[in-house]
Structure 1
Amino acid sequence: MMTLPRVLARPALLAGAMLLGTVPAAAQTSAATPDLATFAPSGTPNKDGIDYSIWDEAMKSIVISMGPSLREGAPRPDPSFGTRRQYGHVSRYRLEGTRVMFSFLDADVIASFTEYRKDLEATADKVDIQSLSRNEQLAFWINLHNVAMVEQIANAWPVRQPREIMIDGVPLDDARFITVEGIKLSPHDIREKIVYRYWKDPVVMYGFWRGEIGGPSLQREAFNADNVGRLLARGAADFVNSLRGTQELGGTLQVSEHYREAAPFFFPAFETDVRAHLTRFADEATTGLLAKTTGVDPSISEHDIADLEGGVREPTYSNITSNGQAVSFRIPQSMAALLRERETKFQEIIREGRTGTVTFSNIALPGDPADKETDEVE
């Protein structure tokens, strides 16, 4: 059964968080192209925290996992019954990652996403974000980024590709519609000018959801200080060991275009650094792929929306069955076909005994201090 989320409530401040505060003086003005050095993490973190349980509940309600990659491209689906037009997803990566149920969201739920994003922004006026622990800060920036992306895509849906969305004439990823401590930010700013700038572990890449099938998955949990390392490692393993993350073509290792984008921050010696990073999360199949290929070509991309319906409303519907009996819930034919493919994939995973996962986190990096806390994402 598909359960839709309730209207979101305000994020709560955990015990010990500052309930009153002022915007830091350095952040009270906004430049056209902000340097964002004001968001550098403090060297003396406090014990304050933010509770994201409401967003956690929403993610469990609207995000559906397609399961681990089988490294088999999905075949092109048949057209919908009674028409030659192809509705729904046709991507060979459509059975990887996670999907958001945008077509089921009503106006009240979508409006609550905007209110929640604004409440997260306002939280930074009450809590000194820069003085939180590094994990608390990282969770804040990832959640704010992803809330904003879900909000804007939900407002624009139906849309085939999130990069088609414009806000006041500016592409979604570059639009500065997010305000923290009086500074206007875009999703791109949060990723590259704050997180990629002040965190040295490339695992942070996998927390940011771009709304596209070809990117890292949107997790079915909100990030927080305790789970951020685990969720990032899970996202990394999912992406690295998928077709949208790594493939072979003519003996060359193809990787996602996202690695090229992150190269200035994490992969200066591109081939060597990317291969070392992939090895960290590679399963047996991907380890074999790395061993038999040369070079690194960041050419894999898929910009279609990571939803269940392909960003288009289909005029034909199918009844959902349970134990062979029709129930009253009706969904588009293409969505029903996708869910059947998903079920077939899960049955194959069960037959092959591929039902467990192993997550490695808290990995020591070269140059780390001896007294580094092992649960902190650097």
Structure 2
Amino acid sequence: MQKVFLLLLMLIYISGCTSEKKDKKTKIQTENKVVIKDTINKSQIEDTIINTEVIENKKAEDSILDSTTRKKVEKEIKDKTPVKEETTETIVPTVIKKIRPDHSGWNLLTKKHVSASGKVNYNGFKSDISKVEFYLKQLEQTSPQKDWTKNEKLSYWFNLYNASTIHLVATAYPLKSIKDINNGKPWDKKFIKSGHRTYSLNEIENTIVRPNFNEPRLHVAFNCAAVSCPKLLNEAFTPTKLNNQLDKLSKTWINDSTKNKITENTIEISKIFEWYNVDFKKGIITFINKYSDTKTNESSEIQYLEYNWDLND
């Protein structure tokens, strides 16, 4: 009985040990599993972190590559694009400016110092002599050119002649006659500048205008500062008005009984027609009848009136 009891105890003991071992083994396996699981989880996390870093690095790398590539492409485009050179040069369109004299100054002076009947206030011109000189200087610097029209040239020479005559008389004023200047030969005095040349009144009239323009009305345009001379126009000659101005002066001169006396059969006219007979190519009577209120016969006898050289003041 005792032996059986002992055997039973041994079996219980062995069974307990086995169970303990099994429990320990199970515990160890469980712990191992936990460790392995932890290891796996850690590894996975590490792998995830590594993969994430790789992905991020790859993205960054790709970004860098893209940036580098973009910059490279931009540089290539820039290198191939022509560079526009900067310049400070101002491009001015070609403009051909027609330089013409300004007659407005002379226009103002004549309106101020010449009456409608042609009386000249030489004292007035003398007080404005600097303005006359300024106008003459303008004409000097704008002498006629080949591309000027006939009327532009004639207006220039008429105004230059008259302004120069006024200057000549006004600077010597008071005097009784223009013939009191330069020993009775005021028209031969060379003092008128135009361009690079200096002229006398005679040269302007007799070597420039008369031979080159075929214009008989020039004799009402040139003023010789004398009573018997056609009246001085109290405005400047201008190209656009020239023909009307010359016609008006011609009509006034021809019908002025103190300078021309015209009837149907007899005419007593200015000595200008005698001195410059060749300029009236269509004939003196033809010219007179064009402007006279009284028409005279072509066969009328012509007589010339004495010329009064007293100053036209």
Q: Which has the higher helix share?
A: 2
Distance 1:195 1:102, change over 3 A: same
Structure 2: how far apart are the matches of 1:172 and 1:246?
25
Q: Give the superposed CA RMSD.
A: 2.3
Partner residue of 2:222 out of 179, 203, 208: 208
Q: Which has the larger radius of gyration?
A: 2
Q: Aligned to 2:252, which of 229, 238, 241?
A: 238
The answer for the alignment partner of 1:50 in structure 2 is 101
Cα deviation, residue 201, structure 1: 2.8
Give 1:162's aligned residue: 178
Paired letter, 1:225: P
Q: 1:152 aligns with which of 168, 174, 179?
A: 168
C-alpha deviation, 1:159, in angstroms: 0.9
For the 8 Å contact 1:173–1:187, the answer to whether it is kept is yes
Identical positions, percent = 21
1:304 correspondence with 2:310: yes
- 3-state SS of the aligned residue for 2:217? helix
Q: State the match for 1:132 in structure 2.
A: 148
Q: How many residues are matched?
A: 217
Kindly report which structure 2 residues correspond to 1:206-355, keeping only aligned pairs within 5 A, or say none: 206-247=220-261, 252-267=266-281, 273-283=283-293, 286-287=294-295, 290-291=296-297, 294-307=300-313
Whether contact under 8 Å (2:105, 2:135) holds in the other structure is no
What's the TM-score once normalised by structure 1's chain length? 0.53
| Structure 2 residue 80 is the aligned partner of structure 1 residue 64 | no
Q: TM-score normalized by structure 2? A: 0.64
Larger relative contact order (Cα-Cα within 8 Å, sequence gap ≥ 6): 1
> Counterpart of 1:240 in structure 2: which amino acid?
I
Could you list the runs of 5+ residues in structure 1 that have no partner in the other structure? 1-14, 19-48, 67-97, 308-378
Task: Provide the rounded CA distance (Å) in 2 between the counterparts of 1:248 and 1:223.
Answer: 28
CA contact (8 A) 1:17 1:50 kept: no
Counterpart of 1:119 (choices 138, 143, 164) is: 138
Gapped regions of structure 2 (runs ≥ 5): 1-95
Distance 2:126 2:261 in 1: 38
CA distance in 1, matches of 2:292, 2:105: 33
Matches within 5 A, 1:179-218: 179-218=193-232
Name whichever structure is richer in strand by fraction: 1
Q: Aligned letter for 1:100?
A: V
1:303 and 1:243 map into 2 onto residues whose CA distance is 17
Please state how far the C-alpha of 1:304 moved relative to its aligned partner: 1.1
